[in-house]
Amino acid sequence: MAILAVAGLLAPFLAEGGEASQEDFYQLVSIPAPEGAVMEVSAIELLPGKKLAVADRRGDIYVVENAYGVPDQEPKFTLFASGLHEPLGLAWKDGWLYATQRPELTRMKDEDGDGRADIFETVNDQWSIKGDYHEYAWGSRHDKDGNIWVALCLTGSSSSQDPYRGWCVRITPEGEMIPTASGLRSPGGIGFDRKGEVFYTDNQGLWNGSSSLKHLKPGSFQGNPNGNIWFDLASPAWERPPDPPFTDDGSRIATERENIPNFVPPAVVLPHGKLGQSPTGIACVEADGKFGPFDGQLMVGEQTFSEVQRIFLEEVNGVYQGAAFPFLKGFKSGNIAVRFDDEAGVLFVGGSDRGWGARGGQRFNLERVDFTGQTPFEIQEMRARPDGFELVFTAPVDPKTAGDPASYGMEAWTYLYRKAYGSPEVDQATPKITGATVAEDGKSVRLVIEGLVKGHVHQLTANGVRSAKGLPVWHPVAYYTLNEIPGS
């Protein structure tokens, strides 16, 4: 681990035109599991004293010390609890460790001080399970009001055979359950943006043309109607949304938003196959630049491709939308949990490929991502404008290439919104980039575009852009989901 401390010094500075490699910017450091343990990481939480709590799919929770790569300090694992039912969320608050496990939200405490939990208090168990492996319950950390949000997968990821499958519920500090949103399919993680709004990832499948990051606005409908059958039981403060059309050909989300008042469209589509296949955990970066210039952005885990994607979010006309960028790759198993340490500026990532394949190749992983201090030349932000987009790069751009519309490319498409599994990309369009103006700050570029399509994913490529130092963009592609076009 000692290497890390000096990694920034050792990293070679990129020569002009040299090929960027991930190790120059971010280093993936494995934290090996205790010998003999099958630590299929399913949730990670930070504990006081620079320790981690790590849950795994077998139901164990470890406390990990020395996970930050301080020289001469090996990671130490203490088994804090065991026997839980596939926990998929951890949260630390006021001396209690909260775990969202399949049947319930539990909080734990070590009362006798032997390092192991002895009190397991059920905070709430009012959602149903019937014995299907797909009945996953993904739990958030506490929101600003002390609630834990739980995203409940559909039965078999397709129907809703017992109460609240396909719903998000909130568990209050008093232990009451509040049905909060319907229309979920198969979540893979849940977390907050920098304002404390709650988002989850939902996987491609029935009524989901592609995987995406979705905004869990209370009272919202997220697109899959199968869980709406519990409205009478849930009796929330809002009306059951009308059903979308059950036709083979399907509709479009942009169309059905007009018919279904509470329909909140996916904030950021992660185009299936192009940017992973199974999005998972969500972590917001807030590190005063200690993790590169990505404060306020979301890191989203990706199980199949063993990656982490980067998300820029903005709110336009009251609707969340934004851009997804490829970011980190080469993790050693199927990433499930991500947790960012704001203070240290490091990202913890863990997962497992059990039952769901992953490119990583190892059965499970726990890894830490360290920033080397060298900032990659990237598209840092991408904002919608009435007639195009505004890009902010992480470093001053070469005005000639960045100011040339020919350095960019754009394609747009959407997906069928229908009951069948997934969707091809449809309604392809080729918006035309007619102008590219570098701003005075030397880092921002205003793109003027003809033919933006509301509701479409807009794929921007920036292959021709160079930094002022002559470097190409490390990841010259972005996928912006244009739910709303801002007014001028």
Partner 1 sequence: MTRLSTLPLLAVALTVCLPGQVRAAADEAPAVVAPENLAELIAKAKSPGQKAFLTYCATCHQPNGKGVPGAFPPLAKSPWIKGDPERLIRMILNGLQGEIMVLDKPFNAQMPPQGQIMSDAEIATALTYVRSSWGNKEDAVDEKRVAELRKDASKRAEYWDAEELLALYPLPLPDDWPLRQVNYRFYKGSFKKLPDFDKMEPDAAGHLPGGKLTVDLGHAKDEYGVVLVAKLILPAENDYNFAMASDDGARLFVDGNLLIENDGIHPADHLLERRIVLPAGEHDLRVEYFEYKGHEQLFVGLKGKDIGRVDLTDWVFNVGKAKQVYPPIPLTATDGEAVIYRNFIEGANPRGIGVGYPGGVNQCWDADILNVAMIWRGDFMDASRHWNGRGQGFQPPMGDHVLKPAEGYPLAVLESNDTPWPAVKMAKLETAKDGAKATYEYLERDSAYRFKGYQLKGSERIPEFRYTYGDLEVFDRLEPAGGTTPGLSRALSIQGTKAPGDGILYLRAAAGESIQPVEGGFQVGKSFKVVADWPMALIRSVGKDRQELLVPISLAEGGAKLEFAYQWTD
80-109: which residues touch partner 1 (CB under 8 A)? 80, 82-86, 92, 94-95, 101-104, 106, 109
Q: Which is nearer to partner 1, 185 or 383 (by Cβ)?
A: 185
Applying CB under 8 A, which part among 145-153, 287-295, 349-357, 391-399 lies near partner 1?
A: 349-357
**In the bound complex, what is the minimum distance in angstroms from residue 441's beta carbon to partner 1?**
36
Q: Which is nearer to partner 1, 51 or 443 (by Cβ)?
A: 51
Residues 134-193 that bind partner 1 (CB under 8 A): 134, 156-163
Sheet containing 425-429: order of strands: 279-284, 298-302, 307-316, 319-328, 477-481, 457-461, 409-415, 425-429
- Give me 183's structure tokens: 């229309």
The residues with which 169 forms a beta bridge, in sequence order, are 150, 179
Q: Which is nearer to partner 1, 277 or 372 (by Cβ)?
A: 277
Site string for partner 1, 226-255 (x = CB under 8 A): x--x-------------x--x-xx------
**In the bound complex, what is the minimum distance in angstroms from residue 440's beta carbon to partner 1?**
40
Residues 402-421 that bind partner 1 (CB under 8 A): 419-421
In whole angstroms, what is the distance from residue 211 CA to residue 217 CA?
18
Q: Which is nearer to partner 1, 77 or 377 (by Cβ)?
A: 77
In whole angstroms, what is the distance from residue 243 CA to residue 216 CA?
19
Q: Which of 444, 451, 440 is nearest to 383 (CA)?
A: 444
Q: Which is nearer to partner 1, 227 or 464 (by Cβ)?
A: 227
- Quote the Cα angle for 284-289-293, to 5°: 75
**In the bound complex, what is the minimum distance in angstroms from residue 53's beta carbon to partner 1?**
9
**In the bound complex, what is the minimum distance in angstroms from residue 195's beta carbon to partner 1?**
22
Site residue total, partner 1 (CB under 8 A): 102
Q: Which is nearer to partner 1, 101 or 483 (by Cβ)?
A: 101
Applying CB under 8 A, which part among 76-84, 145-153, 214-222, 256-264 lies near partner 1?
A: 76-84
Size (the chain), residues: 488
In whole angstroms, what is the distance from residue 287 CA to residue 341 CA?
8
Residues 254-273 that bind partner 1 (CB under 8 A): 272-273
Q: Which of 172, 392, 177 is nearest to 296 (CA)?
A: 392
In whole angstroms, what is the distance from residue 43 CA to residue 21 CA?
29
Query: Is 71 a residue that touches partner 1 (CB under 8 A)?
Result: no
Residues 1-30 that bind partner 1 (CB under 8 A): none
Using only the alpha carbons of the chain, give its radius of gyration: 22
Residues 282 and 191: beta-carbon distance below 8 Å: yes
Instruction: Collect all residues with Cβ–Cβ distance below 8 Å to 354 and sequence separation of at least 6.
Output: 40, 57, 363, 364
Query: Is 36 a residue that touches partner 1 (CB under 8 A)?
Result: yes
Q: Which is nearer to partner 1, 36 or 487 (by Cβ)?
A: 36
Contact with partner 1 (CB under 8 A): which of 219, 356, 374, 427? 356
Q: Which is nearer to partner 1, 250 or 292 (by Cβ)?
A: 250
| Long-range contacts at 120-126 (CB < 8 A, ≥ 24 apart) | 120/81, 121/96, 123/98, 123/148, 123/171, 123/175, 124/171, 124/175, 124/176, 124/177, 126/169, 126/177
DSSP state of 254: H
Residues 106 and 98: beta-carbon distance below 8 Å: yes
**In the bound complex, what is the minimum distance in angstroms from residue 314's beta carbon to partner 1?**
28
In whole angstroms, what is the distance from residue 266 CA to residue 203 CA?
11
Query: Is 332 a residue that touches partner 1 (CB under 8 A)?
Result: yes
Instruction: Kindly report the number of other CB atoms within 10 A of residue 440's CB atom.
Output: 6
Query: Is 354 a residue that touches partner 1 (CB under 8 A)?
Result: yes
Query: Is 206 a residue that touches partner 1 (CB under 8 A)?
Result: yes
**In the bound complex, what is the minimum distance in angstroms from residue 433's beta carbon to partner 1?**
27
Contact with partner 1 (CB under 8 A): which of 4, 29, 47, 468? 47
Applying CB under 8 A, which part among 115-123, 140-148, 387-395, 403-411 lies near partner 1?
A: 115-123
**In the bound complex, what is the minimum distance in angstroms from residue 41's beta carbon to partner 1?**
13
